[in-house]
Amino acid sequence: MKSLLRLMTWLSPSFPVGAFSYSHGLEYAVEAGLLRDLSSTLDYLTTLILDGSGRIDTDLFLAAHGAETDEDLDRVIDLAAAWRGTQELALESSAQGTAFLVAVSAAWPDPWWEEWKARLKAIGRQPAYAVAVAVAAKRAGIGAEPALAAYLHAFAANLVSAAVRLVPLGQTDGQRAMSALEAVVLAAVAAAPIRRIEDMGSSTPMLDWCSMSHETQYTRLFRS
């Protein structure tokens, strides 16, 4: 029960990682007319979770959770840095990962956190958000699959919240979106452990284009 409460705290909108300030390219997709209603928003988020950066985060999460040595974890961190298609998506991941690490190590003190922060500084890396959450879950004895499901659910919820404000969707359609995305999250979690290494990564050029276009969007509410 304690581990469940801890996971709920870490992935709550109130946890200070600044998730509310990112839209993952969704803001430009709305301006471009790609997202107009509940149906188009669900298409966007489903693709993002199953085939886009959600898929990348899924693979990184399981790799970080399963890392046995510092060197294994270093390789996951390097892979996470290489697997971002745009500058804004890289910032979104690393900034949240760093903020998560600061908050977790302050509220749940553990000498290991300080050692890891020193190692990250030594190798000149910031942890991707998915990697930081996976490491925290492993340290707390939380299994990989339930932790991953919670992470992807929080990822989806944050983007639905952005869509409610941007499209705009009503609050009820926002909840309809979360209901529909339950099956998507579960499918992503089920597919990840059996994915072959040669099938890892993603190819979602339209989503990357939305993110790149957001970098120069004239009026913006979000950082990505």
Q: What is the pLDDT of residues 93-108, one digit of tens each?
A: 999 999 999 999 999 9
Listed in sequence order, the DSSP H helices in 32-127 are 38-51, 53-66, 70-82, 87-107, 111-123
Please, what are the domains in the chain?
26-214 (1.10.4190.10)
DSSP 3-state of 22: coil
Q: How far apart are the first and last CA of the chain?
A: 35
CB 7, CB 147: distance < 8 Å:
yes
CA dihedral 137, 48, 189, 102 (to 10 degrees): 0
Residues 202-218, mean pLDDT to the nearest whole number: 89
Which residue type sits at 76? V
Q: Encode pLDDT of 43-86 as tens digits.
A: 999 999 999 999 999 999 999 999 999 999 999 999 998 888 89
Distance of CA 71 to the CA centre of its chain: 23
Residue 134 structure tokens:
């996976």
Task: Say which range, 95-104, 163-172, 193-202, 207-216, has the weakest mean pLDDT.
Answer: 193-202
* Dihedrals phi, psi of 140, to nearest 5 degrees: -90, 0
- pTM score, whole prediction: 0.96
pLDDT band at 141 (very low <50, low <70, confident <90, very high): very high
